[in-house]
Structure 1
Amino acid sequence: MIGDSKVLIWTAAEVEDGATPAEHLPYVREILAWAGRYLVSPNPELGRNGPVCPYTQPSLHKGLFYLAALTTTNGETDVRDAIQSLRSWYERLSNRISPSDRELLTILLVLPQLDHQDSTALDELQREAKDEFVADGLMIGQFHPVCDQPGLWNEKFKALRAPVPLLAIRKLVVFDLPFLMDNAVHAESYFRRFAPDIPPRIRGQLVKRLAGNEKSLQTA
C-alpha cells in the first residue's frame, strides 16, 4: 500500500489478498471483480469488436492496475483534494515504470460515499478535474451505477456504468481524440501533444472545426 493523508492506493494483488483496511475492502474488491469481468470482456452492445476497455487486461497482467480510496470514509477527506493527490501519485508511479508500459498504468478511485442513485456529484468532480488532467497528458473518466453518458460506438450502450461510483485515471493516448472533441480546450491539448508540428494557427482552426462538427452531430 502507498498513499498519504488524503488517499490510499493498493495494487490489484493486494486487494485480492485482502491486504486492505476492512472499511475499504468490500468496495475495492467489488470494483476489481467488476473490472475483471466487465472491462476485459467483449459486449454485443458495445458497437465494436474487442473488450470494453482494451487496456485493462494488459494492465492487470503487468501489475499496473491499482485501486484507491479516500483515507477516511466519514467525510473528513475532501474528494477534490484526494483527486489532486492521486494525480501526483500517478506521476510518481509512472516514473517508476518503462515508457512503453506507461499507457497501461491505471488507478481507479473508488468512491462508495457518493450517491449511488444520482451521478451529478461525480460528474461534476470529473468535469472540474478534466481540463487539468488532459493538459498534463492524463485522462480522468467517471463510472457510476446510473451514468447515462452514451457509448462512443453505440449511444444506447451505457458503457460507463459500474456498481460503485469511481473515477478512473490513465495516460492520454492517441486513440482518445473522440473523447475530447466536444471541448475545444481538450482538443487543443490533444493536438499540442500528439501533433506538435502542426502550426498553432492551423491547429486552432482544426480544433474549432472538429468541435463544431461534434456539436452539430449532438444536436442533429
Structure 2
Amino acid sequence: MRGDGTLRIYSPGEVERGEVPARYARALGQVLEWSREFLVSGHPALGRTGPVCPYTQPSLRKELFLFAVPPEGPGSPEGPGSPEGPGSPEGSGQPDLADAVGRLREWHEKLSTDLEPDDQELLTLLMVLPGVDPADSAELDALQRAAKDEFVAGGLMIGQFHPVCDEPGLWNPAFRPLRSPVPLLAVRRLLVFDLPFLVGADRHLDAYLKRFAPLIPTRVRDQLVSRVTA
C-alpha cells in the first residue's frame, strides 16, 4: 500500500489478496475483475480489432495499474460521519473529493519519477468511488470536467467511468466503453494518440500540440487537419 492521508493506493496483487480495507474490498474487486475481463478483451461493438484498452494488459502485468481510494465522505461506502476513514483529520468534517483528485495527479507524477519512459506510459491510477451514486453521473462528470484542464496541461489524461456513462466509443458511437461497475476516475500519461479525445477544446489542443507537435504521426496529423478544417 502507498499513499497518504488523502489517498491510499493499492496494487492489483494487494486487491486480489484482500490487503485492502474491508469497506473497499468489494468495489475494488469488481473494478479489478472488470479491468481484467472487459478492458483487456475485444468487443464486437468496439468498431476495431484488439482490446478495448490496449494499455491495460501490459499495465496490469507490470503492476502499474493501481487503485486509489479516498477517505470517508461522498466518495466512500462508509458515507458521511464515518469514524473509520483512513487519514481524515479528526473533526475536519467531510473531505473534499476535489482535493483527492488533486492528490491523484500528484501521486501519478511521484510514482512516475523512477520509471522508465515506456513504463511511465503504462502507469494508471484509478480512483474508485463506491459512494458516488452509480445511477447519477453528475458529480463524477463535474469532477472530471473541473480537473481536465490542469491535468492535460500537465501531460495527463483524466477520464470518468461509471455504470451510466454515455460517452460514445471513438470507432463506434453506439458503443459505451466507459461504463464500469463502480464509479471511478482514471489517470494516465497523455499520449500522442489521444488527439481525438482533445479536439473540441482549444486549450486542450494547444497543450497537446506544445507537447507532441514534432512527433505527430502522419495519420494523426491528417486526422487533426480534417477535424480543424471541418
Give me the whole-angstrom Cα distance separating, in 2, the residues matched to 1:166 and 1:211: 31
Give me the whole-angstrom Cα distance separating, in 2, the residues matched to 1:158 and 1:148: 6
Question: What whole-Å deviation, never above 9, does each CA across 1:25-62 have from its counterpart, x for those lacking one?
Answer: 11111100100000000001000110000000000011
1:96 and 2:107 correspond: no
- 2:175 aligns with 157
Aligned residues: 206
Question: What whole-Å deviation, never above 9, does each CA across 1:170-205 have from its counterpart, x for those lacking one?
Answer: 00000000000121111110010001599xxxxxxx
- 1:9 aligns with 9
Q: Verify the 8 A CA contact 1:183 1:211 in the aligned structure 2.
A: no
Q: Verify the 8 A CA contact 1:28 1:68 in the aligned structure 2.
A: no
The 1:92/1:153 distance shift into structure 2, 3 A limit, reads same
5+ unaligned residues in a row in structure 1: which ranges? 199-205, 214-220
Deviation at 1:212, TM superposition (A): 6.7
Q: What is the SS of the residue equivalent to 2:66?
A: strand
For normalisation by structure 2, the TM-score amounts to: 0.85
- 1:185 aligns with 203
- 2:33 aligns with 33
What's the Cα RMSD here?
1.9
Letter in 1 for 2:130: P
- Identity, % of aligned positions: 53
- 2:49 aligns with 49
5+ unaligned residues in a row in structure 2: which ranges? 81-93, 217-222
Q: What is the SS of the residue equivalent to 2:144?
A: helix
Question: What whole-Å deviation, never above 9, does each CA across 1:96-130 have from its counterpart, x for those lacking one?
Answer: 21112110000110011111111111111111100
Deviation at 1:63, TM superposition (A): 1.1
Give me the whole-angstrom Cα distance separating, in 2, the residues matched to 1:64 and 1:18: 18
For normalisation by structure 1, the TM-score amounts to: 0.89
Deviation at 1:84, TM superposition (A): 0.4
Q: What is the SS of the residue equivalent to 2:22?
A: coil
